[in-house]
C-alpha cells in the first residue's frame, strides 16, 4: 500500500492530466475546429434564403401590360392551430375554390399543403385565420391570355424564359427581364421554423428591366380576330398576319394560328412559296436595270406559254401586256417573258437585296432565313420560276420587310419587336432607332413600284375587292400551290396578300397569308384581300392604333374633297359612327340642319347626329353645305360642308 503522499501525488497528476486534456480538447474545438462548429451552429439557427427578383414587365407600344409578374401564394395549414376548424375549413375551401371534402382530407395530416398558386385576392381573407401560413411566390401573369401568344411565348416551370417550356420573347429576353435574385438570412428554431424576426439582407434583389414592345394592342387584336374569322370561315389550315410600320421597321401586329387553335410563331419560322407576291421584285429588277420601258408590250400568248421545260399559264389572259398590266392582272406569262431579259446574277442580286434567303434580324429566336438558291444551283426553269414566286421560300416577316422597303423609298429596314428597354428605375437603357440594312432600289424606282402596285387595287386589278373608297392602297395578291412534305399538294393553295396603306405615304404594310382555304374560292383576291380591307377599315375606326391621322387626312382621296391650302394641320379628328343602317334599306327623309357659322367639329357632330355622312372642303367655320340647310334628303346622304377660315378680328 503506497504512502498517502504518493497516492495524493498520483491523484494530482491524474487531475492535472485530465485538466490538460480538457484544455487541449477545448483548444482543438475552439481553435482548430472552431469555424466548422460555428458554421454548424449557424446552420442550425439560421438559414440563407433566396429573395426572388421581380421579372420585368412586357408592355405594348402604348404602355398596356402584356406580361407582368405578380405575387401568388402556396397555402399551408397547421390543423392544430386552427381556432374554429369547422368555420375555418369552410372559409379556406371557399377562398381557395376547393371542395370542402378536399380541405378536410388535407387537414387529417399534421400539416396540410395546397400548392395553388393562389392569387393575393384569393388568400386575402385567409391572412387573419390562425393556423394558415402563406408562402409567397412570384408568378408570371398574362392579362390577355391569347394576346400575341405565339410571339410573347411563356416562361417555363421555373419561372424563367430559358427553362423548359419557355419560348418566344420571354425566352429571348430572359437575361433582360429576369433581374438578379438577392439573399437574406433568417433565424430558425429547433424545428426549423422561422422566427418572426427581421431578415438580415445580404444582397437585395434587383428587378428585371421592363421591355416596351412595338406591338399595338388594338391592331394586334384586329389582326388576331380577322385571322381567326378567316380561318374558321374559309376552313383553312392556318394563317399569318404581319403589320409593320415601313418608316421604322417596327412590327405593329403579328398573328399566327392553325386550324386546331394552336399558335406557333410561323410568321417568323415557317416558309412558303410566295407566288405572285414576288412578281413585284422581278419588276424591281427590270425597272432598276432598265430592261423594260413603260409602254413596251409582250404577247399574252392566249393564256398558255410553252417553255422548254414547262408550260406557263394565265388565269385571265390579255392579248398583250405592259409591265404595269402584268402586275395589275398578275400575269405569269408576261413576267416570265420580261424577266428573261435579266441575267441570273441580276435577278438573284435584287431578290437577295430585298432580304430573301437571309434572316431579317428581327429579335426572335429560330427565325428562318427562307430559301433562295444562288445562280450556280439553278436549273433551266429557275429564272422563270423565281419571276413568278416559285423556287423561293420566304417567311411572312421577310415579305413584310421587303414590301416595307418599297414603301420606304427603297431602303430595307431591319424589322424589330423591341421599342424600348427601361431599367427598374425608369431610366431608358435602349430605344429603337430605324436600322437600315441597305438601299435596295432608288427612291424613283420605289415610287414606280408603288405605282405598279396601285394598279392592282384599281378596276380590273386582281385586288379590286381590297380597294378602299377614301384611301388608295398599293397591293399585290398571291395564290401559290402549297408544298406539303416536300411536294406540291394537289388542290392545296396558299392565298396571300401584301398591302401598303395608304399608297401615297405608306404608314402600314400588311401581309396576310391563308393556308389552304377550302371553303369558297382559294384565290387571294377573294380570300386574303377582302380580309385585309376589313382589317384596314377597323384600324381606321380604332382610336389608338399607330396611324398618323394628321398625315392620313391629307392623303384621303375622296373624289370631291378639295385640296387643302395649308395641309400642315395637327388636329386629327375621327368620326367613326353614325350608326346608320345599311344604305341598301329605304331611309326616311330628314331636314339638313343649318350649321352655317359653326366650327367644323361641331358641325360634323350635328350632321352625324342627324344621320348624315360628312365630307369636308376647306377648314375653319362652315360657310354653307350641300345639300343646303333646310332641304329634306334621305338619312345616310353625304352632306358636303364648305368651310372658310374664320374672320381675323383686328383691334
Partner 1 sequence: MAVRGRHWIAFWLVALLAALWMVIARQTAALNSARALNDLREERASLEGRRAEQERRVRTAQSRAVLLPRAQKQGLRLPADTEIVLLPAPPSERPF
**Interaction between residue 141 and partner 1 (CB under 8 A):** yes
Q: With contact defined as beta carbons under 8 Å apart, do 283 and 341 qualify?
A: no
Cβ 48 to partner 1, closest distance in Å?
18
5 vs 586, beta carbon nearer partner 1: 586
Site string for partner 1, 359-398 (x = CB under 8 A): ----------------------------------------
CB of 52 to partner 1, least distance (A): 13
**Pick 439 or 549: Cβ nearer partner 1:** 549
Question: Residue 269: enclosing H or E segment and its boundaries?
Answer: helix 266-269
Smallest gap, in angstroms, from Cβ of residue 429 to partner 1? 24
**Residue 493 and residue 479: Cα distance in Å, rounded?**
6
**By CB under 8 A, residue 144 contacts partner 1:** yes
Figure out which of the listed residues 45, 74, 133, 225 binds partner 1, where binding follows CB under 8 A: 225
- How far is residue 93's CA from residue 615's CA, in Å, rounded to a whole number? 62
604 binds partner 1 (CB under 8 A): yes
Binding of partner 1 at residue 68 (CB under 8 A)?
yes
Distance CA 618, CA 610 (A): 22
In the range 467-486, which residues lie near partner 1 by CB under 8 A? 468-471
* Gap between the Cα atoms of 342 and 285, Å rounded: 8
By the rule CB under 8 A, 546 interacts with partner 1: no
| Identified binder of partner 1 from the candidate list 46, 47, 51, 65, rule CB under 8 A | 65
Backbone angles phi, psi at 401, to 5 degrees: -65, -40
Asked if 34 touches partner 1 (CB under 8 A), the answer is no
* Own/partner pairs, 539-545, CB within 8 angstroms, 24+ separation: 539/219, 539/222, 539/508, 540/471, 540/574, 541/574, 541/576, 542/218, 542/219, 542/222, 543/218, 543/574, 543/576, 544/62, 544/216, 544/217, 544/218, 545/216, 545/218, 545/219, 545/222, 545/252
Which of 28, 30, 44, 70 forms a contact with partner 1 (CB under 8 A)? 70
The answer to the question of residue 316 lying near partner 1 (CB under 8 A) is no
What are the backbone dihedrals phi and psi of residue 356, each rounded to the nearest 5 degrees, phi first?
-80, 145
One residue of 1, 196, 427, 490 binding partner 1 per CB under 8 A? 196
Residues in contact with 99: Cβ distance below 8 Å, sequence separation at least 6, in sequence order: 93
**Residue 218 · residue 545 · CB < 8 Å:** yes
Region near partner 1 per CB under 8 A, out of 97-105, 279-287, 348-356, 465-473: 465-473
Q: Residue 144 or residue 596: which is nearer to partner 1 going by CB?
A: 144
CB of 221 to partner 1, least distance (A): 6
As a whole number of angstroms, the distance between CA 11 and CA 18 comes to 10
Least distance between partner 1 and beta carbon 467 (Å): 10
Q: Which positions from 622 through 641 interact with partner 1, judged by CB under 8 A?
A: none
Please answer whether residues 244 and 498 qualify as being in contact, where contact means their C-beta atoms are separated by less than 8 angstroms. Answer: no
Among residues 597, 294, 311, the alpha carbon closest in space to that of 449 is found at 294
User: How far apart are the C-alpha atoms of 406 and 499, rounded to whole Å?
Assistant: 11
Contact stretch for partner 1 (CB under 8 A) within 219-227, 309-317, 428-436, 447-455: 219-227
615 lines the binding site for partner 1 (CB under 8 A): yes
Would you count residue 489 as binding partner 1 (CB under 8 A)?
Answer: no
For residues 72 and 477, which CB has a smaller minimum distance to partner 1 in the complex? 72
Residues in a beta bridge with 119? 72
- Binding of partner 1 by 552 (CB under 8 A): yes
Q: Does 63 bind partner 1 (CB under 8 A)?
A: no
Nearer to partner 1, 329 or 499 (CB): 499
CB of 422 to partner 1, least distance (A): 19
Q: Candidates 137-145, 246-254, 258-266, 332-340: pick the segment binding partner 1 (CB under 8 A).
A: 137-145
Residue 593 binds partner 1, judged by CB under 8 A:
no
- Cβ proximity to partner 1, 31 vs 559, nearer residue: 559
Minimum gap (Å) between residue 564 Cβ and partner 1: 5
Choose between 447 and 564: whose C-beta lies nearer to partner 1.
564
CB 80 within 8 A of CB 100: no
Q: Is the dihedral of CA 621, 627, 631, 634 positive or negative?
A: negative
Q: Round to whole Å and give the CA distance between 477 and 399.
A: 12
- Interface mask (CB under 8 A) for partner 1, residues 515-544, using x and -? ---------------------xxx-xx---
Interacting positions 91-130 with partner 1 (CB under 8 A) = 119-121, 124, 127
- Strand 638-644 and strand 613-617: pairing? parallel
**Rounded CA gap, 553 and 532, in Å?**
21
Q: Please state whether the peptide bond connecting residue 626 to the residue before it is cis, i.e. omega within 30 degrees of 0.
A: no
What residues numbered 565-584 form the site for partner 1, per CB under 8 A?
A: 566-581
CA quadruple 432, 437, 438, 440: dihedral positive or negative? negative
Nearer to partner 1, 163 or 578 (CB): 578
Q: Angle formed by the axes of helices 279-288 and 443-457, to 10°?
A: 140
Shortest reach from residue 144's CB to partner 1, in Å: 5
Q: In the numeric block, which cell numbers belong to residue 37?
A: 462548429
What DSSP letter does each residue of 25-93 carry, written as one string?
A: HHHIIIIISHHHHHHHHHHHHEEEEEEPPPPPPEE-TTS-EEEEEEEEEEEEE-GGG-SSHHHHHHHHH
- C-beta of 16 vs 645, nearer to partner 1: 645
Assess 284 for contact with partner 1 (CB under 8 A): no
Where helices occur in 97-157 by DSSP H, the ranges are 100-106, 120-123, 149-152
In a 3-state reduction of DSSP, which class is residue 355? coil
Q: Who contacts 243 (Cβ-Cβ below 8 Å, separation ≥6)?
A: 219, 223, 251, 252, 253, 254, 400, 508, 509, 510, 535
CB 330, min distance to partner 1, A: 24
CA atoms of 512 and 538, how far apart (whole Å): 15
Task: Report residue 583 as a C-alpha cell.
Answer: 344604305
Given the rule CB under 8 A, which of 266-274, 451-459, 481-489, 545-553 is the region that contacts partner 1? 545-553
The one segment of 60-68, 157-165, 376-384, 416-424 that binds partner 1 by CB under 8 A? 60-68
Residue 613 near partner 1 by CB under 8 A = yes
- Least distance to partner 1, CB of residue 113, Å: 20
Rounded least distance, CB 73 to partner 1, Å: 9
- Number of C-alpha atoms within 13 angstroms, CB side, residue 263? 19
Which grid cell sits at 648? Answer: 381675323
How many chain residues interact with partner 1 (CB under 8 A)? Answer: 64
Q: Is 198 in the site for partner 1 (CB under 8 A)?
A: yes
Q: Where do contacts with partner 1 occur on this chain (CB under 8 A)?
A: 64-65, 68, 70-71, 119-121, 124, 127, 136, 141, 143-144, 196-198, 221-222, 225, 468-471, 536-538, 540-541, 549-550, 552-554, 556, 564, 566-581, 599-601, 604, 613-616, 619-620, 645-646
Amino acid at each position: 500500500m503506497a504512502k498517502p503522499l504518493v497516492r495524493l501525488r498520483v491523484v494530482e497528476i491524474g487531475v492535472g492530466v485530465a485538466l490538460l486534456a480538457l484544455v487541449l480538447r477545448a483548444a482543438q474545438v475552439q481553435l482548430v475546429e472552431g469555424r466548422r462548429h460555428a458554421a454548424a451552429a449557424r446552420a442550425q439557427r439560421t438559414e440563407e434564403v433566396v429573395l426572388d427578383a421581380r421579372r420585368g414587365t412586357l408592355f405594348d407600344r402604348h404602355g398596356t401590360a402584356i406580361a407582368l409578374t405578380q405575387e401568388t401564394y402556396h397555402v399551408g395549414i397547421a390543423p392544430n392551430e386552427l381556432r374554429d376548424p369547422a368555420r375555418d375549413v369552410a372559409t379556406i375551401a371557399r377562398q381557395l375554390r376547393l371542395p370542402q371534402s378536399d380541405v378536410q382530407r388535407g387537414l387529417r395530416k399534421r400539416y396540410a399543403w395546397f400548392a395553388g398558386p393562389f392569387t393575393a385576392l384569393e388568400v386575402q381573407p385567409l391572412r387573419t385565420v390562425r393556423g394558415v401560413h402563406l408562402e409567397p411566390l412570384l408568378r408570371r401573369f398574362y392579362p390577355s391570355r391569347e394576346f400575341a401568344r405565339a410571339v410573347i411565348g411563356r416562361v417555363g416551370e421555373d419561372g424563367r424564359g430559358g427553362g423548359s417550356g419557355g419560348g418566344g420573347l420571354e425566352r429571348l429576353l430572359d437575361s433582360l427581364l429576369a433581374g438578379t435574385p438577392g439573399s437574406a438570412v433568417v433565424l430558425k428554431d429547433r424545428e426549423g421554423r422561422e422566427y418572426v424576426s427581421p431578415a438580415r439582407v445580404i444582397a437585395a434583389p434587383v428587378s428585371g428591366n421592363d421591355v416596351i414592345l412595338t406591338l399595338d394592342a388594338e391592331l394586334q387584336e384586329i389582326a388576331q380576330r380577322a385571322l381567326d374569322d378567316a380561318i374558321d370561315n374559309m376552313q383553312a389550315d392556318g394563317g399569318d398576319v404581319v403589320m409593320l410600320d415601313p418608316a421604322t421597321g417596327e412590327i405593329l401586329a403579328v398573328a399566327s394560328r392553325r386550324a386546331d387553335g394552336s399558335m406557333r410563331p410561323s410568321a417568323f419560322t415557317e416558309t412558303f412559296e410566295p407566288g405572285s407576291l414576288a412578281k413585284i421584285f422581278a419588276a424591281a429588277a427590270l425597272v432598276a436595270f432598265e430592261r423594260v420601258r413603260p409602254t413596251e408590250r409582250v404577247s399574252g400568248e392566249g393564256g398558255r406559254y410553252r417553255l422548254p421545260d414547262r408550260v406557263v399559264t394565265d388565269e385571265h389572259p390579255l392579248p398583250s401586256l405592259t409591265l404595269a398590266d402584268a402586275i395589275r392582272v398578275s400575269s405569269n406569262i408576261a413576267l416570265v417573258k420580261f424577266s428573261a431579259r435579266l441575267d441570273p446574277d441580276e435577278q438573284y442580286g435584287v431578290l437577295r437585296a430585298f432580304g430573301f434567303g437571309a434572316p431579317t434580324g428581327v429579335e426572335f429566336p429560330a427565325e428562318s432565313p427562307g430559301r433562295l438558291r444562288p445562280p450556280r444551283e439553278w436549273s433551266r426553269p429557275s429564272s422563270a420560276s423565281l419571276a413568278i414566286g416559285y423556287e423561293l421560300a420566304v417567311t411572312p416577316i421577310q415579305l413584310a420587310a421587303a414590301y416595307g422597303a418599297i414603301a420606304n423609298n427603297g431602303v430595307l429596314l431591319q424589322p424589330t419587336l423591341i421599342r424600348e428597354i427601361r431599367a427598374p428605375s425608369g431610366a431608358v437603357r435602349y430605344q429603337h432607332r430605324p436600322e437600315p440594312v441597305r438601299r435596295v432600289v432608288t427612291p424613283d424606282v420605289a415610287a414606280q413600284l408603288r405605282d405598279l402596285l396601285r394598279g392592282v387595287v384599281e378596276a380590273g386589278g386582281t385586288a379590286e375587292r381590297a380597294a378602299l373608297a377614301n384611301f388608295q392602297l398599293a397591293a399585290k395578291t398571291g395564290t401559290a400551290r402549297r408544298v406539303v412534305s416536300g411536294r406540291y399538294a394537289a388542290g392545296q393553295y396558299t392565298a396571300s396578300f401584301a398591302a401598303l396603306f395608304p399608297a401615297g405615304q405608306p404608314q402600314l404594310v400588311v401581309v396576310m397569308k391563308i393556308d389552304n382555304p377550302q371553303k369558297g374560292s382559294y384565290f387571294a383576291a377573294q380570300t386574303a384581300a377582302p380580309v385585309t380591307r376589313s382589317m384596314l377599315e377597323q384600324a381606321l375606326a380604332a382610336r389608338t392604333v399607330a396611324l398618323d391621322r394628321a398625315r392620313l387626312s391629307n392623303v384621303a382621296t375622296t373624289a370631291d374633297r378639295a385640296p387643302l391650302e395649308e395641309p400642315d394641320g395637327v388636329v386629327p379628328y375621327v368620326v367613326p359612327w353614325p350608326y346608320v343602317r345599311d344604305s341598301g334599306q329605304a331611309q326616311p327623309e330628314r331636314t339638313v340642319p343649318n350649321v352655317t357659322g359653326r366650327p367644323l367639329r361641331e358641325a360634323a357632330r350635328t350632321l352625324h347626329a342627324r344621320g348624315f355622312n360628312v365630307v369636308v372642303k376647306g377648314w375653319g367655320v362652315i360657310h354653307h353645305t350641300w345639300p343646303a340647310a333646310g332641304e329634306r334628303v334621305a338619312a345616310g346622304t353625304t352632306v358636303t360642308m364648305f368651310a372658310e377660315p374664320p374672320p381675323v378680328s383686328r383691334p
